Amino acid sequence: MAAAEGNKLWGGRFSGSTDPIMERLNASISYDQRLSEVDIQGSMAYAKALEKSGILSKTELEKILGGLEKISEEWSKGVFGVIPTDEDIHTANERRLKELIGDVAGKLHTGRSRNDQVVTDLKLFMRNSLSIISRHLLRLIETLVERAAIEIDVILPGYTHLQKAQPIRWSQFLLSHAVALTRDSERLGEVKRRINVLPLGSGALAGNPLGIDRELLCNELDFASISLNSMDAVSERDFVVEFLSAATLLMIHLSKMAEDLIIYSTSEFGFLTLSDAYSSGSSLMPQKKNPDSLELIRSKAGRVFGRLAAILMVLKGLPSTYNKDLQEDKEAVFDVVDTLTWCIFCNTESRAPDCSQIKTPQCLTHTAHFGSPLPAAQGLRAFL
């Protein structure tokens, strides 16, 4: 039995109904409801632009804004009722708005396409998420720097090829990771700068013919600039690829740090002890303390890279302007935002490394440095 078309934003020219299987394939409300708040923000700004252009009266604007505020409150309280015909977050919000204020709700979509609406929503969501992720990342960097200063006198073996090489300070190890994460922070800042370009007002692909003031939209939504070409604006997902690329590098760095800490926490190395709060045990071997949090962080790097590879494959074959393939971008972004947040939060506690196991390989360089030829130094090692 075919599904009803009643609430669809695009159903006007259709006489038949959509097959239920197509409904399930097409629907995105199960995950894009995360855009509920930014979708309402965009609609409020667009309503103000419609009022300025004369399409909405002052009274109509007030009714629409009041209805949108009520919907926002319902989402925040977790009482918004999604129904089966809500195809996506835009359909759901506009359906509910009509229930609250009547037919005037239909005016809100005048001159606006879901093509420019959804990319605006996604940019708003990502801009907010990047601000949060960047703050947490900076705190992690600060923590590494603080620990490096406190534990500057701790010495431990440095490794190349996983073989003991030279003594290093524990602080140097910590700061090596802090420097890499600083580059990640800079990259996220660059991504945020390119996200901060307003696409709203581009319509489906050919712009908005109704005299919508895009400067007003830009100011209302706090974008830094306005998109230059409507065909590009509704379809470009460079900012998604850049975010996923930066996230992949960040996860590679977190994975490397996790791997180092896993190795250093083994009984064979014994340089540090992991917090009980971020470890687990064995049901068979009670003496074990497993670094599950670090192992999960290490594995998540592959997950994030997979999201990047997937969206690149989606984009590589698309023609110009909007195509439904782009619906894949949101799940990738949501998943990576959550993964980054979780991994940055999941900190470990360590004690000062126990370096009593350091023996003579690291002494060779220093012996040679103070005047003994390296072969003689190697001979000296045999007696140590």
Name residues whose C-beta falls within 8 Å of residue 362's C-beta, 6 or more positions apart in sequence: 157, 158, 164, 165, 166, 167
Distance separating alpha carbons of residues 206 and 229, to the nearest angstrom: 9
Kindly indicate the confidence band of residue 118, based on its pLDDT and cuts at 50, 70 and 90. very high
Closest CA to 47 of 220, 189, 288: 220
**Tokens linked to 107:** 């005016």
Q: Which of 15, 161, 267, 283 is catalytic?
A: 161
Q: Give all strands (DSSP E) within 32-162, no chain letters.
A: 155-160
Report the length, in residues, of the chain: 384
DSSP state of 258: H
Closest CA to 177 of 215, 142, 222, 214: 142
Average pLDDT over residues 330-342: 97
Q: Provide the pLDDT for residue 365.
A: 47
- In angstroms, the Cα distances linking 359 to 171, 267, 373 are 20, 17, 20
Query: What value does the mean pLDDT of the chain take?
Result: 88
Average pLDDT over residues 298-316: 97
**Tokens linked to 36:** 């509920």
Closest CA to 245 of 311, 155, 323, 334: 311
- In angstroms, the Cα distances linking 311 to 329, 331, 333 are 7, 10, 10
Determine which of 210-214, 236-240, 362-366 has the lowest per-residue pLDDT on average.
Answer: 362-366
Domains of the chain: 19-110 (1.10.275.10), 115-203+229-357 (1.20.200.10)
Q: Is the pLDDT of residue 172 over 50?
A: yes
What does the angle CA 188 – CA 189 – CA 193 come to, to the nearest 5 degrees? 115
Kindly indicate the confidence band of residue 24, based on its pLDDT and cuts at 50, 70 and 90. confident
CA atoms within 13 A on the CB side of 57: 4
**Tokens linked to 322:** 């909007």
pLDDT in tens, 79-95: 999 999 999 999 999 99
Q: Is the pLDDT of residue 287 over 90?
A: no
Tell me whether residue 17 is one of the annotated catalytic residues: no
First to last CA, the chain: 84
CB 315 within 8 A of CB 237: yes
pLDDT in tens, 346-368: 864 445 555 555 444 444 444 44
The neighbouring-strand residues paired with 169 are 155
CA atoms within 13 A on the CB side of 56: 27
CB 71 within 8 A of CB 239: no
Tell me whether residue 177 is one of the annotated catalytic residues: no
The neighbouring-strand residues paired with 166 are 158
Q: Which of 282, 299, 366, 369 is catalytic?
A: 282
What's the helix, strand, coil split of the chain in %, to 5?
Answer: 65, 5, 30
Distance separating alpha carbons of residues 90 and 112, to the nearest angstrom: 11
Average pLDDT over residues 151-165: 95
Average pLDDT over residues 254-282: 88
0.75 exceeded by pTM: yes
CB 116 within 8 A of CB 57: no
**Helices (H) and strands (E) in the chain — how many of each?**
14, 4
DSSP state of 322: -
